[in-house]
Amino acid sequence: MIFYMTNLAQNYDWKICVMKQRKRSTGELISSVAFLGAAIWLSFEAEIFLEDDQILKGVLVYIGAFLSLLAAMRFTIQRLVHRVSATLWPK
């Protein structure tokens, strides 16, 4: 029993360290996957609108798909902008 409880404590400490290294919460990862799914779904819907000769709706839905893709990549874009700004304007 004591061995089992110390093993749980060691596993718990390891999980805290992993979360600190990742710097993103589970909710942020879930929302990124949801935005990516929405982007894929919207692109298929835009194709359907374009096949039905509804050009304006198709273009607007494609814009929504693109914005959802950008939202899914928001952390990657943030890191990229931070690296570029650190390169251009060092402290």
Q: Tell me how far apart the alpha carbons of residues 20 and 11 are, in angstroms, rounded to a whole number.
A: 15
* Whole-number Å distance between alpha carbons of 72 and 39: 8
- Per-residue confidence of the chain (91 residues) as pLDDT tens digits? 555 555 555 555 555 555 455 577 898 999 999 999 999 999 999 999 999 999 999 999 999 999 999 999 999 999 999 999 999 998 7
Q: What domain range is 49 assigned to?
A: 2-88
Give the count of domains, the chain. Answer: 1
Q: How far apart are CA 50 and CA 61, in angstroms?
A: 10
Report if pTM > 0.85. no
At 52 the three-state DSSP class reads: coil
